[in-house]
């Protein structure tokens, strides 16, 4: 992250543009999803976020969808109740994807098992 780039801008570039199926370049969501809001409060993770990969699938790296650490992120998310297909049991998995913020959290935890978020 450059000195002029905020943590929110870094997340928009890496987690949102790089990992989120729902990302819209000209729409700024504030607050963002649970993952982005969590990571906004962790500028110490900026160097790790710079290395965030952007694989073409929509997976959660090696983490299970019901990993308690990921469920906690979704539990605090503004979009969970009315706006998130991924955590809506009525939506089939092949019809939805986890958002980029949750995928970013999953990657961080997969790469850094000791990380406390």
HSE at residue 101, side-chain half, CA atoms within 13 A, is 29
Answer yes or no: are the C-beta atoms of 73 and 18 closer than 8 Å. Answer: no
Output 13 or 80, the one with its CB closest to ligand SF4: 80
- The binding site for ligand SF4 (CB under 6 A) comprises 33-35, 73-74, 77, 79-80, 84, 86-87, 98-99, 101-102
Residue 9 CB, nearest distance to ligand SF4 (Å)? 19
State the burial class of residue 105 (Cβ atoms within 10 Å of its Cβ: 0-12, 13-18, 19+): buried
Output 3 or 25, the one with its CB closest to ligand SF4: 25
Output 4 or 25, the one with its CB closest to ligand SF4: 25
Residue 33 CB, nearest distance to ligand SF4 (Å)? 4
Residue 24 CB, nearest distance to ligand SF4 (Å)? 14
Distance separating alpha carbons of residues 50 and 14, to the nearest angstrom = 7
**Which residue matches tokens 């370049």?**
25
């Amino acid at each position: 992250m450059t000195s002029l780039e905020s943590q929110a801008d870094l997340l928009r570039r890496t987690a949102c543009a790089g990992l989120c199926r729902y990302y819209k370049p000209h729409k700024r969501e504030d607050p963002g999803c649970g993952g982005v809001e969590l990571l906004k409060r962790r500028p110490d993770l900026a160097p790790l976020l710079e290395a965030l990969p952007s694989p073409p699938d929509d997976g959660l790296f090696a983490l299970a969808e019901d990993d308690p650490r990921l469920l906690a992120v979704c539990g605090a998310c503004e979009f969970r109740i009315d706006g998130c297909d991924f955590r809506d049991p009525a939506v089939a998995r092949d019809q939805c994807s986890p958002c980029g913020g949750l995928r970013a959290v999953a990657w961080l935890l997969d790469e850094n098992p000791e990380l406390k978020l």
